[in-house]
Amino acid sequence: MRIGELSERTSTSRRLLRYYEEQGLLVASRCANGYRYYDESLVDRVAQIRGLLDAGLPTRIIRQILPCLNKPRVIHFPDATPEMIELLETERDRMTERVNFLTRNRDAISEYLDAVRAGASAEAS
């Protein structure tokens, strides 16, 4: 597909798709006329990129970890340098921290909502 369709299907502006490409997060082949051409699988990849960005990871990091997150995972780990592994471990730990933190706070919100609802129903009775 071309950039317009990808843009619609991912709810992401064309400009931003080009930006992600510029940042090395997204690869597009080119038609004879210079138009970008995107593979079907890139819809998911864009969602992944946006999810990671939304979670607070910078493109710099996303660029590094993205290649390790694809389905045919067994294929290409010959490029696993020690620095790369360390980066991945660090980032994995940071993500775990984020998960724990978010979970705790979300649960606190849930509790609060429960308390409010309990209070409201008690008041109604």
Q: Which residues bind a second copy (CB under 8 A)?
A: 48, 51-52, 54-56, 65, 68-69, 73-74, 77, 80, 85, 88-89, 91-92, 95-96, 98-99, 101-103, 105-106, 108-113, 115-116, 119-120
**Using alpha carbons only, what angle is made at residue 45 by residues 20 and 84, rounded to the nearest 5 degrees?**
75
Q: Which is nearer to a second copy, 20 or 36 (CB)?
A: 20
Can you read off the two tokens belonging to residue 74?
A: 């067994």
Binding region for DNA (CB under 7 A): 2-5, 7, 12-16, 18-19, 23, 28, 32-36, 50, 53-54, 58-60
Which of DNA, a second copy, none does 27 bind, CB closer than 5 to 8 A by kind?
A: none
Q: How far is the CB of 17 from a second copy (least distance, A)?
A: 20
Dist CA 4 CA 23 (whole Å): 19
E strand residue ranges, the chain: 29-30, 36-37
Q: How many other C-beta atoms can be found within 10 angstroms of the C-beta atom of residue 14?
A: 14
Q: How far is the CB of 22 from a second copy (least distance, A)?
A: 22
Residue-level length of the chain: 125
Q: Which is nearer to DNA, 29 or 121 (CB)?
A: 29
Dist CA 59 CA 34 (whole Å): 25
